[in-house]
Chain A
Protein backbone atom coordinates (compact mmCIF):
# COMPACT_ATOMS: atom_id res chain seq x y z
CA UNK A 1 0.00 0.00 0.00
CA UNK A 2 1.41 3.35 -0.94
CA UNK A 3 1.71 5.76 1.90
CA UNK A 4 0.59 9.25 1.07
CA UNK A 5 1.65 12.32 2.95
CA UNK A 6 -1.52 13.43 4.76
CA UNK A 7 -0.45 17.01 4.31
CA UNK A 8 -0.72 16.61 0.57
CA UNK A 9 -4.20 15.17 0.75
CA UNK A 10 -5.64 18.12 2.66
CA UNK A 11 -7.62 20.23 0.31
CA UNK A 12 -7.41 23.79 1.49
CA UNK A 13 -10.40 26.01 1.27
CA UNK A 14 -9.72 29.68 0.52
CA UNK A 15 -10.48 30.49 4.18
CA UNK A 16 -7.93 27.94 5.37
CA UNK A 17 -5.40 29.18 2.87
CA UNK A 18 -5.77 32.75 4.15
CA UNK A 19 -5.27 31.51 7.72
CA UNK A 20 -2.16 29.61 6.66
CA UNK A 21 -0.68 32.66 4.92
CA UNK A 22 -1.43 34.81 7.95
CA UNK A 23 0.23 32.23 10.22
CA UNK A 24 3.32 32.09 7.98
CA UNK A 25 3.48 35.89 7.87
CA UNK A 26 3.19 36.02 11.66
CA UNK A 27 6.04 33.51 12.01
CA UNK A 28 8.25 35.64 9.73
CA UNK A 29 7.40 38.77 11.73
CA UNK A 30 8.45 37.21 15.04
CA UNK A 31 11.26 39.14 16.72
CA UNK A 32 13.20 35.93 17.17
CA UNK A 33 13.28 33.13 14.61
CA UNK A 34 11.07 30.25 15.73
CA UNK A 35 14.04 27.87 15.47
CA UNK A 36 16.31 29.94 17.73
CA UNK A 37 16.42 28.51 21.20
CA UNK A 38 19.83 29.32 22.57
CA UNK A 39 21.31 32.81 22.55
CA UNK A 40 24.96 33.49 23.23
CA UNK A 41 27.67 36.13 23.49
CA UNK A 42 31.43 36.31 24.00
CA UNK A 43 31.27 40.05 24.76
CA UNK A 44 29.29 40.23 27.99
CA UNK A 45 30.27 43.30 30.00
CA UNK A 46 30.64 42.99 33.75
CA UNK A 47 31.55 46.15 35.62
CA UNK A 48 31.96 46.72 39.31
CA UNK A 49 32.60 49.67 41.53
CA UNK A 50 33.38 50.20 45.16
CA UNK A 51 32.53 53.64 46.50
CA UNK A 52 33.86 54.90 49.80
CA UNK A 53 34.61 58.48 50.89
CA UNK A 54 38.32 57.56 50.69
CA UNK A 55 38.44 55.96 47.26
CA UNK A 56 36.42 55.09 44.18
CA UNK A 57 37.44 51.83 42.56
CA UNK A 58 36.13 50.72 39.18
CA UNK A 59 36.95 47.84 36.87
CA UNK A 60 35.43 46.38 33.74
CA UNK A 61 35.54 43.03 32.00
CA UNK A 62 34.25 43.09 28.43
CA UNK A 63 34.93 39.47 27.47
CA UNK A 64 32.46 37.50 29.52
CA UNK A 65 30.50 34.63 28.00
CA UNK A 66 26.77 34.25 28.50
CA UNK A 67 24.20 31.80 27.20
CA UNK A 68 20.44 31.63 27.68
CA UNK A 69 18.01 28.92 26.63
CA UNK A 70 14.68 30.56 25.79
CA UNK A 71 12.79 27.27 26.17
CA UNK A 72 13.84 26.63 29.75
CA UNK A 73 14.98 30.11 30.89
CA UNK A 74 18.27 28.60 32.05
CA UNK A 75 21.36 30.76 31.75
CA UNK A 76 25.10 30.60 32.40
CA UNK A 77 27.64 33.40 32.74
CA UNK A 78 31.40 33.25 33.08
CA UNK A 79 34.11 35.89 33.40
CA UNK A 80 37.84 35.51 33.83
CA UNK A 81 39.09 37.53 36.80
CA UNK A 82 42.38 38.51 35.12
CA UNK A 83 40.38 40.22 32.38
CA UNK A 84 39.09 42.96 34.67
CA UNK A 85 40.73 46.17 33.51
CA UNK A 86 41.56 48.81 36.14
CA UNK A 87 42.87 52.31 35.74
CA UNK A 88 45.38 52.08 38.57
CA UNK A 89 48.15 49.48 38.61
CA UNK A 90 48.18 48.87 42.36
CA UNK A 91 44.42 48.28 42.47
CA UNK A 92 44.72 45.71 39.67
CA UNK A 93 47.58 43.99 41.46
CA UNK A 94 45.85 43.90 44.86
CA UNK A 95 42.56 42.75 43.30
CA UNK A 96 44.20 39.80 41.54
CA UNK A 97 46.83 38.79 44.06
CA UNK A 98 45.37 39.61 47.48
CA UNK A 99 41.59 39.67 47.23
CA UNK A 100 40.47 37.44 44.36
CA UNK A 101 43.59 35.22 44.19
CA UNK A 102 42.98 34.95 40.47
CA UNK A 103 45.74 32.41 39.82
CA UNK A 104 43.97 30.02 42.22
CA UNK A 105 40.38 30.99 41.30
CA UNK A 106 40.67 32.21 37.69
CA UNK A 107 36.96 32.73 37.01
CA UNK A 108 33.60 33.76 38.42
CA UNK A 109 30.42 32.05 37.25
CA UNK A 110 26.67 32.26 37.58
CA UNK A 111 24.39 29.35 36.72
CA UNK A 112 20.68 29.91 37.13
CA UNK A 113 17.30 30.42 35.51
CA UNK A 114 14.56 32.99 35.14
CA UNK A 115 12.16 32.62 38.07
CA UNK A 116 9.09 33.27 35.91
CA UNK A 117 9.70 32.20 32.33
CA UNK A 118 6.04 32.72 31.37
CA UNK A 119 6.34 36.47 32.00
CA UNK A 120 8.62 36.81 28.97
CA UNK A 121 7.32 36.51 25.42
CA UNK A 122 10.50 35.79 23.46
CA UNK A 123 8.50 36.21 20.26
CA UNK A 124 7.56 39.80 20.94
CA UNK A 125 9.83 42.86 20.95
CA UNK A 126 9.84 44.61 24.28
CA UNK A 127 11.51 45.01 27.65
CA UNK A 128 10.60 42.65 30.44
CA UNK A 129 11.47 42.96 34.12
CA UNK A 130 12.79 39.62 35.30
CA UNK A 131 14.34 37.87 38.25
CA UNK A 132 17.02 35.23 38.05
CA UNK A 133 17.81 32.68 40.70
CA UNK A 134 20.88 30.50 40.80
CA UNK A 135 24.38 29.83 42.04
CA UNK A 136 27.06 32.47 41.95
CA UNK A 137 30.64 31.28 42.35
CA UNK A 138 33.30 33.85 43.17
CA UNK A 139 36.70 33.21 44.78
CA UNK A 140 35.87 29.49 44.92
CA UNK A 141 32.79 30.11 47.13
CA UNK A 142 29.32 29.14 45.89
CA UNK A 143 26.25 31.06 47.02
CA UNK A 144 22.57 30.92 46.06
CA UNK A 145 21.38 34.33 44.94
CA UNK A 146 18.38 35.99 43.31
CA UNK A 147 19.01 39.09 41.22
CA UNK A 148 16.65 41.44 39.37
CA UNK A 149 17.23 42.54 35.81
CA UNK A 150 15.71 43.47 32.49
CA UNK A 151 15.50 41.40 29.37
CA UNK A 152 15.00 43.27 26.10
CA UNK A 153 13.95 41.46 22.94
CA UNK A 154 14.65 43.33 19.73
CA UNK A 155 16.39 43.01 16.36
CA UNK A 156 16.60 39.24 16.71
CA UNK A 157 18.74 39.53 19.84
CA UNK A 158 18.25 39.47 23.60
CA UNK A 159 19.84 42.17 25.74
CA UNK A 160 20.17 41.38 29.43
CA UNK A 161 20.95 44.03 32.04
CA UNK A 162 21.26 43.64 35.77
CA UNK A 163 22.49 45.69 38.73
CA UNK A 164 23.13 44.01 42.05
CA UNK A 165 25.48 44.03 45.02
CA UNK A 166 28.00 41.46 46.18
CA UNK A 167 29.21 41.38 49.77
CA UNK A 168 32.95 40.61 49.94
CA UNK A 169 32.46 38.60 53.18
CA UNK A 170 29.96 36.23 51.49
CA UNK A 171 32.71 35.00 49.19
CA UNK A 172 35.47 34.91 51.79
CA UNK A 173 37.25 37.91 50.25
CA UNK A 174 39.47 39.31 53.00
CA UNK A 175 40.26 43.01 52.93
CA UNK A 176 43.31 43.90 55.04
CA UNK A 177 42.94 46.56 57.74
CA UNK A 178 45.28 49.06 56.02
CA UNK A 179 42.92 49.51 53.04
CA UNK A 180 39.63 48.58 54.72
CA UNK A 181 38.45 52.19 54.70
CA UNK A 182 39.13 52.42 50.97
CA UNK A 183 37.13 49.40 49.87
CA UNK A 184 33.37 49.07 50.29
CA UNK A 185 31.99 46.04 52.12
CA UNK A 186 29.41 45.67 49.37
CA UNK A 187 30.50 45.97 45.75
CA UNK A 188 28.06 47.22 43.08
CA UNK A 189 28.02 44.98 40.04
CA UNK A 190 26.57 45.97 36.67
CA UNK A 191 26.06 43.37 33.95
CA UNK A 192 25.13 44.01 30.33
CA UNK A 193 25.14 41.62 27.40
CA UNK A 194 23.60 41.38 23.95
CA UNK A 195 23.05 37.72 23.09
CA UNK A 196 22.58 36.56 19.51
CA UNK A 197 21.08 33.29 18.25
CA UNK A 198 23.56 30.41 18.38
CA UNK A 199 24.44 29.16 14.93
Chain B
Protein backbone atom coordinates (compact mmCIF):
# COMPACT_ATOMS: atom_id res chain seq x y z
CA UNK B 1 0.00 0.00 0.00
CA UNK B 2 2.78 2.38 1.05
CA UNK B 3 4.68 1.48 -2.11
CA UNK B 4 1.62 2.38 -4.19
CA UNK B 5 1.26 5.76 -2.45
CA UNK B 6 4.94 6.55 -2.95
CA UNK B 7 4.69 5.57 -6.62
CA UNK B 8 1.56 7.68 -7.07
CA UNK B 9 3.21 10.67 -5.39
CA UNK B 10 6.29 10.23 -7.57
CA UNK B 11 4.16 10.03 -10.72
CA UNK B 12 2.17 13.12 -9.68
CA UNK B 13 5.41 14.98 -8.93
CA UNK B 14 6.87 13.99 -12.28
CA UNK B 15 3.75 15.08 -14.19
CA UNK B 16 3.50 18.33 -12.22
CA UNK B 17 7.19 19.06 -12.73
CA UNK B 18 6.99 18.34 -16.46
CA UNK B 19 3.96 20.62 -16.88
CA UNK B 20 5.67 23.41 -14.89
CA UNK B 21 8.88 22.98 -16.94
CA UNK B 22 6.89 23.03 -20.20
CA UNK B 23 5.02 26.20 -19.20
CA UNK B 24 8.15 27.96 -17.93
CA UNK B 25 10.22 27.24 -21.03
CA UNK B 26 7.45 27.62 -23.64
CA UNK B 27 8.48 30.11 -26.33
CA UNK B 28 6.30 33.07 -27.33
CA UNK B 29 4.05 31.60 -30.06
CA UNK B 30 3.85 32.94 -33.60
CA UNK B 31 1.29 35.72 -34.07
CA UNK B 32 0.02 33.85 -37.16
CA UNK B 33 -1.91 31.45 -34.90
CA UNK B 34 -3.38 34.12 -32.61
CA UNK B 35 -7.04 35.10 -32.93
CA UNK B 36 -7.75 38.74 -33.74
CA UNK B 37 -9.90 40.50 -31.13
CA UNK B 38 -10.53 43.79 -32.96
CA UNK B 39 -10.58 44.81 -36.62
CA UNK B 40 -10.08 48.40 -37.76
CA UNK B 41 -8.35 50.70 -40.24
CA UNK B 42 -5.03 52.46 -39.56
CA UNK B 43 -6.76 55.84 -39.84
CA UNK B 44 -9.52 54.88 -37.40
CA UNK B 45 -7.05 53.38 -34.90
CA UNK B 46 -4.82 56.46 -34.91
CA UNK B 47 -7.78 58.86 -34.69
CA UNK B 48 -9.11 57.07 -31.61
CA UNK B 49 -5.71 57.37 -29.87
CA UNK B 50 -5.28 60.99 -30.94
CA UNK B 51 -8.76 61.95 -29.68
CA UNK B 52 -8.76 60.10 -26.37
CA UNK B 53 -5.59 58.20 -25.50
CA UNK B 54 -6.95 56.84 -22.21
CA UNK B 55 -10.10 55.40 -23.79
CA UNK B 56 -8.15 53.98 -26.74
CA UNK B 57 -5.55 52.46 -24.39
CA UNK B 58 -8.32 50.66 -22.50
CA UNK B 59 -9.89 49.49 -25.75
CA UNK B 60 -6.80 48.39 -27.69
CA UNK B 61 -3.62 47.94 -25.60
CA UNK B 62 -2.77 44.28 -25.09
CA UNK B 63 -5.36 43.18 -27.64
CA UNK B 64 -4.63 41.42 -30.92
CA UNK B 65 -5.76 43.90 -33.57
CA UNK B 66 -6.13 43.50 -37.33
CA UNK B 67 -5.37 46.79 -39.09
CA UNK B 68 -5.69 47.71 -42.76
CA UNK B 69 -4.04 50.68 -44.39
CA UNK B 70 -1.82 52.08 -47.09
CA UNK B 71 1.95 51.57 -46.68
CA UNK B 72 3.81 54.85 -46.11
CA UNK B 73 7.18 53.29 -45.43
CA UNK B 74 8.61 49.78 -45.42
CA UNK B 75 11.99 49.39 -43.72
CA UNK B 76 14.28 47.12 -41.75
CA UNK B 77 15.43 47.87 -38.24
CA UNK B 78 19.11 47.72 -37.29
CA UNK B 79 18.89 44.02 -36.38
CA UNK B 80 17.02 43.21 -39.61
CA UNK B 81 13.48 43.11 -38.16
CA UNK B 82 11.07 44.35 -40.84
CA UNK B 83 8.83 47.30 -39.97
CA UNK B 84 5.95 48.91 -41.83
CA UNK B 85 4.42 52.33 -41.22
CA UNK B 86 0.79 52.64 -42.32
CA UNK B 87 -0.77 55.94 -43.42
CA UNK B 88 -3.28 57.58 -41.10
CA UNK B 89 -3.84 60.91 -42.81
CA UNK B 90 -1.74 62.65 -40.14
CA UNK B 91 2.00 63.24 -39.62
CA UNK B 92 2.15 60.05 -37.60
CA UNK B 93 1.18 56.53 -38.57
CA UNK B 94 0.53 53.04 -37.34
CA UNK B 95 3.90 51.37 -36.87
CA UNK B 96 4.02 47.59 -37.22
CA UNK B 97 7.12 45.72 -36.09
CA UNK B 98 7.20 42.21 -37.56
CA UNK B 99 6.98 39.10 -35.38
CA UNK B 100 10.39 37.48 -34.75
CA UNK B 101 8.70 34.10 -34.23
CA UNK B 102 7.10 33.89 -37.68
CA UNK B 103 8.57 33.16 -41.10
CA UNK B 104 7.27 36.01 -43.27
CA UNK B 105 6.62 35.42 -46.98
CA UNK B 106 6.98 39.14 -47.77
CA UNK B 107 8.64 41.88 -45.78
CA UNK B 108 9.22 44.60 -48.35
CA UNK B 109 6.26 46.63 -49.60
CA UNK B 110 6.00 49.51 -52.02
CA UNK B 111 4.64 52.77 -50.58
CA UNK B 112 0.95 53.02 -51.42
CA UNK B 113 0.33 49.25 -51.25
CA UNK B 114 -2.82 48.31 -49.31
CA UNK B 115 -1.90 45.95 -46.50
CA UNK B 116 -3.67 44.16 -43.67
CA UNK B 117 -1.59 43.30 -40.61
CA UNK B 118 -2.31 41.60 -37.32
CA UNK B 119 -0.38 42.41 -34.15
CA UNK B 120 -0.63 43.21 -30.46
CA UNK B 121 -1.40 46.87 -29.83
CA UNK B 122 1.26 48.44 -27.58
CA UNK B 123 -0.19 51.97 -27.44
CA UNK B 124 0.69 55.46 -28.61
CA UNK B 125 4.29 56.64 -28.86
CA UNK B 126 3.93 59.36 -31.53
CA UNK B 127 2.77 56.54 -33.84
CA UNK B 128 0.37 53.86 -32.67
CA UNK B 129 2.64 50.85 -32.26
CA UNK B 130 1.71 47.26 -33.01
CA UNK B 131 4.09 44.54 -31.80
CA UNK B 132 4.76 41.08 -33.28
CA UNK B 133 2.93 41.74 -36.55
CA UNK B 134 2.14 39.33 -39.37
CA UNK B 135 0.60 40.04 -42.76
CA UNK B 136 -3.00 38.84 -43.09
CA UNK B 137 -3.46 37.45 -46.60
Q: Which residues of A contact B (CB under 8 A)?
A: 42-43, 45, 62-65, 78-83, 85-90, 92, 96, 102-103, 106-107
Contact = CB atoms under 8 A, between A and B. Distances in A.
B45 interface: no
Given A83-B97, A102-B61, A107 B26 contact: no
Contacts of A92: 28
A69 B127 CA distance: 21
Contacts of B50: none
Contacts of A63: 83, 95, 97, 122, 125, 129, 131
Nearest to A109: B125
Given A89-B27, A92-B28, A106-B61, A82 B121 contact: yes
B40 interface: no
B27 A87 contact: yes
Interface size class of B (residues with CB under 8 A): 20 to 34
- Chain B CB within 10 Å — which of A43, A78, A82, A89 has the most? A82
B26 A103 contact: no
Contact of B122 (A43, A80, A90): A80
26 contacts: A43-B77, A62-B81, A63-B83, A63-B95, A63-B97, A63-B129, A63-B131, A65-B126, A80-B124, A80-B129, A81-B122, A82-B62, A82-B123, A82-B131, A83-B122, A85-B28, A85-B100, A85-B131, A88-B24, A88-B25, A88-B26, A89-B26, A103-B58, A103-B61, A106-B61, A106-B123
A89 B81 CA distance: 19
B123 A80 contact: yes
Contact of A89 (B28, B58, B77, B127): B28
Given A88-B28, A96-B62, A103-B61, 11 more contacts: A42-B95, A62-B77, A62-B97, A63-B83, A63-B97, A63-B131, A82-B62, A82-B131, A83-B131, A88-B24, A106-B57
Contacts, number: 73
A107 B125 contact: yes
B26 A90 contact: yes
A64 B26 CA distance: 27
Interface string B94-132: 010100100000000000000000001111111101011
Interface of A is mostly: strand
A107 B28 contact: no
A88 B27 contact: yes
List the 7 closest A-B pairs by CB distance, nearest first. A82-B122, A80-B122, A106-B123, A83-B122, A80-B123, A89-B28, A83-B131
B24 A90 contact: yes
A107 B123 contact: yes
